[in-house]
Amino acid sequence: MDLLVNRSNLREVTITETVKTPLKEGEARLRIEHFSLTANNITYAVAGDFLKYWNFFPAPEGMGRVPVWGFAEVVESTVDGVAVGSRYYGYYPMSSHLVVQPIRVGASGFSDGAPHRQGLAAVYNTYLNTENDPAYDRVTEDLQMLFRPLFGTAFLIDDFLAEEGFFAASRVIFASASSKTAYSTAFLTSERKGVSVVGLTSARNVDFVKYLGIYDTVLAYEDLEKLDSSEPTVFVDMAGNSALRARVHGHLGDALNYSCSVGLSHWDQNGPVAEPLPGPAPTMFFAPDQSAKRIKELGPQEFQRRFAIAWRKFLARAEGWVTIEHFDTAEDLKRNYLAFIEGTAPADAGYIHSL
């Protein structure tokens, strides 16, 4: 079973069933047990062509399988080292099953060597065996699905900004401050000395964002001009709202030292801007590039050590920030997907799905 979306109209969703085919040599079939659904998955869909997210899981012409993060169990395998019954955390489609071609198989997991996945970011092709994953804990499995991929991006954004000395800014402004990626990043940045964090959000989410206790200042979008326009600032844009971005650039002007584009939670408001923006041109942040750079510089063990320390600190706080709900029907998935598309999902939503 698959949830397919129309790539030219993300609001058009269909549920399809496919016939199971015999495995070929070198393949394994995984039953996707459950996966999280967040605003991050909408970014995957919106940027599917630009950042090649549609390429991971082929679909019929004009359609797409939206990537998600979750856990799956091996139900059939022709590959040594990928045993039936073993469980893997990784990047899956909104589907009930996935056939992979495991390569570089080891105790920690494997990579999918399917031809259509070659040349794509390695972090998305890696599947981690839960038996040997140091960051895995069955007790926090739901939180791992909801936050680990987003926190990975957050960790890299914060790492990048810190590496650059926050571009000599003393303030970081986050748009779409209620999104999990935004407040994961803000959590990390709030622990840095010499920089304050500001959250911009919709009026209906102001109370939730204040409740998080991360941001030094929380403002509704309509109030952003109340911010001091002279303080050196970095703007981290999780919203992708071109009108909001223009207002931020217009208000801060030369005080804006860096403009970082990350997410597209306001995906339907990401139209072109008629005139060049004041201040620095927005720069797209692509987490796999920063990950590859830092792993090369630090070595994989030191990189993972730093991530694990930050991840454990975050988990200690994050459990109270989401209301976790489990769903097991295709109609539930379709409804909740459309809620994220329309921006109506509650800020504290923690949706876990299975098909």
Q: What is the pLDDT of residues 101-130, one digit of tens each?
A: 999 999 999 999 999 999 988 889 999 999
Tell me what the pLDDT averaged over the chain comes to: 91
pLDDT band with cut points at 50, 70 and 90 for residue 267: very low
Check residue 330 and give its pLDDT: 93
For the chain, what are the domain ranges?
2-136+322-353, 148-285
| 44-58 mean pLDDT | 90
pLDDT band with cut points at 50, 70 and 90 for residue 266: very low
pLDDT for residue 168 is more than 90: yes
pLDDT for residue 346 is more than 50: yes
pLDDT for residue 169 is more than 70: yes
Query: Tokens at residue 44, please?
Result: 């995957």
How many CB atoms lie under 10 A from the CB of residue 11? Answer: 11
Query: Tokens at residue 170, please?
Result: 């003393």
| 306-314 mean pLDDT | 89
Check residue 95 and give its pLDDT: 96
| Angle, CA of 151, 155 and 156, to the nearest 5° | 120
171, 232 contact by CB (below 8 A): yes
Residue 23 CA to residue 99 CA, distance in Å, equals 8
Amino acid making up residue 42: I
pTM, full prediction? 0.81
Residue 319 CA to residue 299 CA, distance in Å, equals 30
Positive or negative torsion for Cα 69, 72, 76, 78: positive
The architecture CATH gives domain 2-136+322-353: Alpha-Beta Complex (3.90)
3-state helix, strand, coil in the chain (%, to 5): 40, 30, 30
Class of domain 148-285: alpha beta
Check residue 263 and give its pLDDT: 59
